[in-house]
Amino acid sequence: MITAEATTAPASLWAYTAPETAANPPLRGDHSTDVAVIGAGFTGLRAALHLAEAGTRVIVVDAGDVGAGASGRNGGQVNPMLPFNAPSKIREIVGAKTFERLAEASLGSADALFDMIRRYQIDCQARQNGWLRVNHSNAAHRKAIADTQNWNAIGAEMEVIDGAEVRRLSGSDTYQSGMVNPRGGAVQPLMLAQGLARVARDRGARIHGGSAVKSLSRQGDSWVVATAHGRITAQSVIVATNGYSDDLVPNLAKSVIPITPVQIASDPLPEDVIAEILPHGHTISDSRRVIMYARREPDNRMVYGGHGQPDRHGNLGGFDWLVKDAERVFPQLRGVTWRHRWGGKIAITDDHLPHLHEPKPGLLVGLGYNGRGVAMANVMGRVLAERAMGAAPETLPFPITSLAPIPLRNAKVFGLPHVIRWMRFLDKIETR
């Protein structure tokens, strides 16, 4: 199993470039609070900030520390749309009323994140230069046109572009068309997590690292959260453990499929190598089943991401494939040294939508952003906080659903490497 600690930088570019911050001390002794939050990623920290700002007492605990999970390791792409599903399909799953709120929250999620970063003056290299989603095949092109029309009909404001424009905006001539979403952008994710923690702490939240929660139990009207050296008694608990979820809450880990995206990053590259690549600062991802996503840093580093695969010892793999793919998509990068290699775990849900659960009164869980958590986890964190403070379910953008195991989950997890290989094969044929 990959733990947050096992894949911690120095390998990560984000840990390499973020200013050093003092570790948050482990929880020791007995404490009482209004809300205990488990997990100091975007979901948990955003919830803590919202609660603290409203004057609610909140304590956050993390097995590692702030941003130790996916939030400190991701591609930092702020992509303002739910992945995979057409709006009609989502409406069918969540119902018409919730769909309106969910679509609004999702389409507005990037703007909301950038607004929050500005409001709290979080220094995380935030830039809203737009997101390019590019099409690898005829079928992907047709689907993108339909998706763009459908999402634009409810306010997405995206633009379809042809291959020549993709070439101009990305520096890659691998793709035949694309879509530009001007609301997208990028952040330095570890700095965003650290900034959220600072702002939450300034408003009274307490944050403890090195504090894996060992048990969660009900005592009278309260919840008791126990770590190796401490205990929190709380009215409510928010579980924000996403791809790192374990058996703390029955069925939680079984309700998602954990996958392990990985990334590589170069040193700053000479202008003649990188000049044509993403010259206007867009982020980019593609339409393949096994996608790539990439960005160019202000100091001319390239960051390139895709799907990884842990070996049986829990070490991350898949980097060699990523290097080859980066050189295929951007031939300008041939021979570049990829100094940083890292990854993390995320949670995929069976309906490809984020899930909000309330398995017991006062116990809330939010997870499952399907690779779009930079913007959506910040929405979920706020929503979890509002629910913990008493917001009615019918006002929330996510339906509160039961915590059910994914059918045949073990077989799906076991078979994932084979499925990925098969999807890559199909992608390759279509790309030709």
Ligand X SMILES: Cc1cc2nc3c(=O)[nH]c(=O)nc-3n(C[C@H](O)[C@H](O)[C@H](O)COP(=O)(O)OP(=O)(O)OC[C@H]3O[C@@H](n4cnc5c(N)ncnc54)[C@H](O)[C@@H]3O)c2cc1C
Which residues of the chain form contacts with ligand X (CB under 6 A)? 4, 38-44, 61-64, 68-71, 73-77, 79, 212-213, 240-244, 246, 248, 261-263, 293, 305, 343-344, 346, 367, 369, 371-375, 377
Beta pairing, strands 185-186 & 77-78: antiparallel
Beta pairing, strands 293-296 & 283-286: antiparallel
3-state secondary structure of 148: helix
CB closer to ligand X out of 32 and 215: 215
DSSP symbol at 81: S
CB closer to ligand X out of 172 and 285: 285
CB closer to ligand X out of 169 and 192: 192
CB closer to ligand X out of 12 and 332: 12
CB closer to ligand X out of 41 and 171: 41
Length reported for the chain: 432
Dihedral, CA atoms, 364, 249, 216, 211, nearest 10 degrees?
Answer: -90
- Residue with the closest Cβ to ligand X? 373
Work out how close the CB of 58 gets to ligand X at its nearest, in angstroms, rounded to a whole number.
15
CB closer to ligand X out of 176 and 401: 401
DSSP symbol at 38: E
Work out how close the CB of 227 gets to ligand X at its nearest, in angstroms, rounded to a whole number.
7
Work out how close the CB of 208 gets to ligand X at its nearest, in angstroms, rounded to a whole number.
9
Cα torsion 120, 126, 128, 130: sign = negative
d(C-alpha 90, C-alpha 365), whole Å: 20
CB closer to ligand X out of 62 and 297: 62
Work out how close the CB of 47 gets to ligand X at its nearest, in angstroms, rounded to a whole number.
9
Dihedral, CA atoms, 167, 286, 261, 422, nearest 10 degrees?
Answer: -120
CB closer to ligand X out of 38 and 392: 38
CB closer to ligand X out of 149 and 278: 278
Work out how close the CB of 423 gets to ligand X at its nearest, in angstroms, rounded to a whole number.
18
Work out how close the CB of 255 gets to ligand X at its nearest, in angstroms, rounded to a whole number.
14
CB closer to ligand X out of 68 and 199: 68
- Which residues, in sequence order, are bridge partners of residue 179? 133, 160
Alpha helix positions (H), 311-406: 319-329, 373-388
Single-letter residue type at 387: R
CA angle in degrees (0–180, nearest 5) for 308-298-71: 40
Work out how close the CB of 193 gets to ligand X at its nearest, in angstroms, rounded to a whole number.
7
Residue 423, burial from CB neighbour count under 10 angstroms (0-12, 13-18, 19+)? middle
Work out how close the CB of 245 gets to ligand X at its nearest, in angstroms, rounded to a whole number.
6
Residue 291, burial from CB neighbour count under 10 angstroms (0-12, 13-18, 19+)? middle
- Which residues make Cβ contacts (< 8 Å) with residue 184, sequence separation at least 6? 77, 78, 79, 80, 110, 128, 129, 130, 131, 282, 283
Work out how close the CB of 203 gets to ligand X at its nearest, in angstroms, rounded to a whole number.
19
Work out how close the CB of 297 gets to ligand X at its nearest, in angstroms, rounded to a whole number.
14
Is 46:192 a contact under the CB 8 Å cutoff?
A: no
Q: What are phi and psi of 159, to 5 degrees?
A: -130, 130
